[in-house]
Amino acid sequence: MNFSKAPDGQPTLLSFDDARTLFHEFGHALHGLLSDVTYPLIAGTHVARDFVEFPSQLYEHWLERPEVLGRHAVHAVTGEPMPAELLRRLLAARTFNQGFATVEYTASAIVDLDLHLLAEADDLDVRAFERTTLERIGMPAEIVMRHRTPHFAHVFSGDAYAAGYYGYLWSEVLDADGFGAFVEAGDVFDPATARRLRDFVYAAGDLRDPADAYVAFRGRMPNVEQLLRKRGLSAVGGDA
């Protein structure tokens, strides 16, 4: 990890965002460490671009659990665990401005897809094209795209992300719904659910189609409702 070290004699501390990054990257590590396939070509994170972030983003959910924070997120001086009220406020803050953030991201993803549906792009008026797409989807005038097309590096930097910017949000659909399997089991450390996750996701690499892998783990295709709840956009609201 590339965390900042503390001055000599002082403990190195992580912000909550740093800790989330740690859990995220360790999710990628587990994807490789638990891989159990014959050929390295399909091992670990060698999976579809819009599936590779699922195991890492899913692992982030355990950072926010009181069982984890109560044991590890302790005061550097007193050793006291994080107060429950502080944790509640910290988690509540993650839904701030999510309506704006979701729309600005989705707009960029749709423009990306529309650009790659063009049969040819000679003499393309990029600003007019962008404007037409945003009008078609009913983009609110108060919100702009996260990435305006002229500096939208994901679109033009190569095949890896071409027409693939949507993948970040799709992976979040998967991780939110996937964690719902543990919530529904009544135990976020449920061994049977964890075994399915290990067998069909972390250990399986690209052994099967990602949709088949997800269904084998979850029992069905993902549902967007958990993402809406996570972002505070669902009428249900709150955390399970």
Q: Which residue has the tokens 């993948």?
A: 167
End-to-end distance of the chain based on CA atoms, in angstroms? 31
Q: Which of 25, 67, 104, 225 is catalytic?
A: 25
Is 25 part of the annotated catalytic residue set? yes
Residues designated catalytic: 25
